[in-house]
Amino acid sequence: MVCCAAINAVRLLFKTSRKQFFSTTAGSLQTAVATQEIILSAGALHSPKILQLSGIAPAPLLTNIGINVTVNLPGVGENLQDHLFGLTLASLNPGIPANSDLVNATFDAAQRDLHYAKRKGELFPSRWTDTIAEALSFIPLYNFTKADLANNLISSIEANSTQYLHDSIDSAVVAGYEKQTALIASMHSKGSTAAMELLYVDGGRSVVNILMHPLSRGTVSVTSSDPFAPPAIDPRYFSHPYDGQVLVESLRFNRKLLATAPIQALGAIETLPGTATESDADILSFIKGVTSTEYHYVGTCAMLPKALGGVVDAKLKVYGVDGLRVVDASIMPLLPSAHTQATVYAIAEKAADIILGHSVEGRQYLVINPRSWDHNA
């Protein structure tokens, strides 16, 4: 294993001896021999790129750019998902701490002195280790929309959502997407999953809404056989109208929060998009102008049956290839109703068990109770 290597590009080479070769191009060609198997962990944007460069991808894509097909695997690079966001900005009464205080050198120096002298001030107890938000909540669809509107949104999931996929998508990937949308609709109907994450940021000056289960699906595709060329990343944000509709309703929910007595006591006045932005079309236009990636990319090497566009099986093995597994966020067929970091940790932990042949029942865990620690020791 080579950690933190300055590797610019990678190809996987397969020999008739069934040994796998892992080659890198970083100024000069270097080749490493894998005596057992290869674990690919390049993330949801680059794991599919490496597979595609290695001839493991949808055959039409490889044929178009002159890469020999090793395994025709239609799901590689498909099913790209990301958490989208919208937001509302507000002004507050003077004197309420703001994140901008953290980059004010004079303020910072004064607060540090106060912290060290009296353990008081804006830096005590957690200002130096502040999180991105003062509060957050994961909210089911029925909790921030009216019931009839929520029902209509769920119906739009169950309707012909496949019409919003790109034109050249393989039928196996379409079949997998139909399974996904049915599951998402069921979870929202039961209220068993969050549709939106709400972040209360910068003392309340920003209220951010993050779409948990987008229906839009993007792609990651190599554009040439040049391993140094970046892949073409098309997230296809808002290609399914459901995504925009949920974020519009989320912004309307923000306005209800800003109008509550505790928030009004802070002097909250909406500044962006501004109360004059009222129609669904205008709100959606604003959201499209401010949204960006949450860097929560998943799905491009999905763990699904091959017939549903899957790339890896339940043991993380790439279909049709001996000795090759993928272990990263790309294997998630759906985004979780959460940030992806902890889930990636869990994938890695589970992968270690799978690769070593351990069962969950056979594992022993060391349980530590912090309350039993002798802090004076």
Looking at 238, 260, 290, the residue that finishes a domain is: 290
Which pLDDT belongs to residue 68?
92
The reply to whether 296 belongs to the active site is yes
In which band, very low, low, confident or very high, does the pLDDT at 47 lie, cut at 50, 70 and 90? very high
Over residues 6-13, the mean pLDDT reads 58
One domain, residues 182 and 280: yes
Tens digits of residue pLDDT in 145-155:
999 999 999 99
One domain, residues 195 and 303: no
Tens digits of residue pLDDT in 56-111:
999 999 999 999 999 999 999 999 999 999 999 999 988 776 766 656 677 777 87
Which pLDDT belongs to residue 19?
42
One domain, residues 149 and 275: yes
Answer whether residue 365 is part of any domain: no
Over residues 184-210, the mean pLDDT reads 91
Which pLDDT belongs to residue 111?
74
Tens digits of residue pLDDT in 232-291:
999 999 999 999 999 999 999 999 999 999 999 999 999 999 999 999 999 999 999 999
Number of domains, the chain: 2
Which pLDDT belongs to residue 3?
56
Catalytic residue among 46, 115, 339, 375: 339
Tens digits of residue pLDDT in 337-377:
999 999 999 999 999 999 998 655 555 544 444 444 444 43
Over residues 21-38, the mean pLDDT reads 65
Note the pTM of the prediction, 2 decimals.
0.85
In which band, very low, low, confident or very high, does the pLDDT at 226 lie, cut at 50, 70 and 90? confident
Average pLDDT of the chain, as a whole number: 86
One domain, residues 112 and 200: yes
Residue 156 pLDDT greater than 80, yes or no: yes
In which band, very low, low, confident or very high, does the pLDDT at 11 lie, cut at 50, 70 and 90? low
Looking at residue 15, which CATH number applies to its domain? 3.50.50.60
One domain, residues 47 and 147: no
Residue 282, number of CB atoms within 10 A of its CB:
14
One domain, residues 327 and 200: no
Report whether 69 contacts 276 (CB < 8 A): no
One domain, residues 191 and 225: yes
Catalytic residue among 213, 296, 358, 375: 296
One domain, residues 209 and 268: yes
Report whether 152 contacts 158 (CB < 8 A): no
Nearest 10 degrees: Cα torsion 110, 112, 116, 118: 50
One domain, residues 121 and 18: no
Looking at 290, 314, 330, the residue that finishes a domain is: 290
Looking at residue 105, which CATH number applies to its domain? 3.30.560.10
Answer whether residue 49 is part of any domain: yes
Residue 144: domain span: 86-290
Which pLDDT belongs to residue 107?
72
Which pLDDT belongs to residue 244?
98
Higher pLDDT, 203 or 259: 259
Residue 206, number of CB atoms within 10 A of its CB:
18
Higher pLDDT, 2 or 288: 288
One domain, residues 64 and 39: yes
Which pLDDT belongs to residue 366?
46
Count, in order, helices (H) and strands (E) of the chain. 9, 14
The reply to whether 339 belongs to the active site is yes
Higher pLDDT, 171 or 201: 171
Residue 120 pLDDT greater than 70, yes or no: no
Looking at 239, 260, 290, the residue that finishes a domain is: 290
Side-by-side strand order, sheet with 28-34: 10-14, 20-26, 28-34
Report whether 130 contacts 200 (CB < 8 A): no
